[in-house]
Amino acid sequence: MFSIIIPAYNCEKTLHRTLESVASQTYTDWEAIVVNDGSKDGTLKVAESFSKQDKRIRVIDKKNAGVSSARNVGLASARGEFICFLDADDALPPMALSFFDNQMLEGIDLVIAGYKTLDEKDNVVCDASVEIEKKVNRDEAIKWMYEPILYPYLGYCWGKCFRSDIIKQFSLSFDERIYFNEDRLFVTQYVCCCNSINFISTPLYLYYQNPNSAMSSLSKGFNPKFMTDLDGFIEMKKSISKAGTTKENIVLANKGIASSYWRIQWMMNASSNNTLARFAGLHGKLIRNLPLSVYFKEVLLAFFKNRIDRI
């Protein structure tokens, strides 16, 4: 059975589409767990209405604590052998679970599928034109978290199929202290526990662009919570280092930390939010989690180069 975990917050306008896509799956052995994360609109009412029509849809109502908390509540309640995540403003193609089931029956630990990016009028914005299927090991899958293939980003927890026994065996969960990059951290930690991963470019997820999403909010001004993006990259490095991955992946992990710092720094500078306390806090984390040679090259030298280029 598949457990489809759907965190829901103020999504009454899109939740219909999401749940209808689940109910329309050609594969029927599933449960959908809608975790209402303290919504202030009619989200809970919509979810309960669907639940009354289809007993496979369960609703959990909780106080607002963020998407990671909602996903963790869903994981704790899941009864399925396989786990999929679905955001409450997105949808699944009708054959999604059937595709995943065929893959997981072959003993695969994780399936990473393709996805389509759509606007609100269902126009395709992004979709890979090349169809491939590739079985990879843990180290190559870790590399994809930093250097994705075909798609611009493969760190989303959605568009993938996980095994619940692996999640339970290694006590995996979403880090509720991290508000950005928490999904890629979870996927990376899961990959570190895998032996076999299969990538399918076939789009098994429909991602709808949302102007009110957490990532979209960054275009409206600096969000202090984005500073936890750096924490996510630091935790990723800790996990892959503990797993004993390749030197190449450690290099990528260090560059990921440095790149996250520069994104945060640029956002703070652009919005005049670069305080001394924030600056010192960020560099303290860099010094503690990067080799000094990497800190010198990727941070200090880059800083002075940018200064010289402006002269």
> Residue 125: its pLDDT value, please?
85
Instruction: State in Å, rounded, how far the first CA of the chain is from the last one.
Output: 62
> Residue 217: its pLDDT value, please?
55
* Residues of the chain under the 70 pLDDT cut: 129, 212-221, 303-311
> Residue 307: its pLDDT value, please?
54
Q: What share of the chain is helix, strand, coil (3-state, %, to 5)?
A: 45, 20, 35
Tokens of residue 13, six digits:
């306008």
> Residue 46: its pLDDT value, please?
98
> Residue 141: its pLDDT value, please?
96
> In this predicted model, what pLDDT tens digit does every residue of 53-109 receive, in sequence order?
999 999 999 999 999 999 999 999 999 999 999 999 999 999 999 999 999 988 899
> Residue 222: its pLDDT value, please?
81
The top-level CATH class assigned to 2-208 is alpha beta
Residue type, 57: I
Q: How many helices (H) and strands (E) does the chain have?
A: 12, 9
> Residue 211: its pLDDT value, please?
72
> Residue 128: its pLDDT value, please?
72
> In this predicted model, what pLDDT tens digit does every residue of 294-310 receive, in sequence order?
999 989 877 665 655 55
> Residue 121: its pLDDT value, please?
85
Q: How far apart are CA 142 and CA 55, in angstroms?
A: 38
Domains in the chain: boundaries: 2-208, 216-310
